Amino acid sequence: MKITMRILAISAAAVYNLSISCYAFSSSSSSTTTIRRSCVTTRRYSTPIEDGSTAEEAEAMRLDRLRAADEVANQLNKNIEECVMDCVGDDDNTNYPNEKEQERTDLKKQLYKLSASYDRGFGATPTARDEAEDIITQLAAVNPTHNPARGIDGDGTAGEDDIPLKGIWRMIWTSAYDVVSLGASPISTTSAIYQDISKPPVAINIIDFIPKSQSILPSSLSPPSLLRAEVATRASSRNVSTNDRVGLIFEGLKLQPIELLGQKVDNLPPLSIDFTWQRTLVEKLIELVPGLDKSSFGFSDEGSEEVSPDAPGYFDIPYVDNELLVIRQQSTPVQGTGGVFALIKVDSCEP
């Protein structure tokens, strides 16, 4: 259809420009006839010909019209060539990368609209969750990033710009029970949720909490308050063939008040809990219990075998590009198949 419409447009332009060319040539022929009839008179007396011009002026007009006709023809040929190239580019169905990119864009738009309609999944219905799951499944089929977990170990095997997960990501959708349940509190509710992987292998999960009243009432009736929770983890790629699984080891928790009733309080010392001492204790206990090994708990020493891909504490990456990250956390007894997170890349996680 596109080619047909453009051919019609080209034909119309050709007819129009051809009429101009014919007019130029007919005018030139008329002038030539006049010149021939008047050449004797012009040579003898140098008097004007019938249209009031001398033979020299008429000849100049004829040449000008011929040049104008040539320019019109050249421009027409150029336009036809450009239109043909455009037609081929628009209607070539073998251009698969562009088709996949268009499919990705459409699917991401659907996911963005869904997340906005159901408050990032906190107010999602079962139908909405199924729809989001279907979109994510389709996105996984057109994932442009191979080996998405590469470079997450921070060991320098991947270049600084070749780490797909590197960056600051803000959550726009989740079906994870442990996060969705946070919205059930009658006292507080969740504000922004981030995953900061700007310095691999460190991955910091950030959740901002605000009073429930603050999400309902105007600021004049509920002065802003904000408490930030940061869970520090250490990420590592798991030994799977697709290199799309990331293991996590929890290292610490920090609770930092940012604002209280409209006053900045981020200079107050945070409440911090260090989990590394628990890891050290567990590692020592594992050595004392026959039949247990560190890899079963996600621990490993230098020179030891790699951590089991199914060891506790991991997520898979169905999709990631330069603006959207989708992760699926491991299965749990409560959630069964585990929840999904969709996050968009942002420049900062400043509250």
DSSP 271-304: EEEE-HHHHHHHHHHHHHSTT--GGGGT---TTS
Q: pLDDT (tens digit, 9 = 90+) per residue, 167-195?
A: 999 999 999 998 999 988 999 999 999 99
Question: Taking CA 59 as the corner, what is the angle to CA 54 and CA 62, rounded to the nearest 5 degrees?
Answer: 130
Q: Strand ranges (DSSP E) for the chain? A: 167-174, 188-199, 202-211, 226-237, 245-260, 263-264, 271-274, 314-320, 324-329, 340-346
* Number of alpha carbons in the 13 Å side-chain half-sphere of residue 125: 5
Percent of the chain with pLDDT over 70: 67
Contact between 225 and 210 under an 8 Å Cβ cutoff? The reply is yes
pLDDT at 125 over 60: yes
pLDDT at 46 over 60: no
Supply the pLDDT for residue 61. 79
Residues near 227 by beta carbon (within 8 Å), at least 6 away in sequence = 188, 208, 209, 210, 255, 256, 257, 258
Residue 31: band (very low, low, confident or very high) from pLDDT cuts 50, 70, 90: very low
Dist. CA 48–CA 255, nearest whole Å: 101
Q: pLDDT (tens digit, 9 = 90+) per residue, 267-326?
A: 999 999 887 766 666 666 656 655 555 555 555 554 444 566 777 789 999 999 999 999
When the pLDDT of each residue in the chain is averaged and rounded to a whole number, the result is 78
- Of 108 and 93, which is predicted with more confidence? 108
- Of 54 and 45, which is predicted with more confidence? 54
Q: pLDDT (tens digit, 9 = 90+) per residue, 216-252?
A: 998 888 899 999 999 999 999 998 888 999 999 889 9
Residue 160: band (very low, low, confident or very high) from pLDDT cuts 50, 70, 90: confident
User: If you search the block for the tokens 């060891």, which residue do you land on?
Assistant: 311
Supply the pLDDT for residue 28. 44
Residue 38: band (very low, low, confident or very high) from pLDDT cuts 50, 70, 90: very low
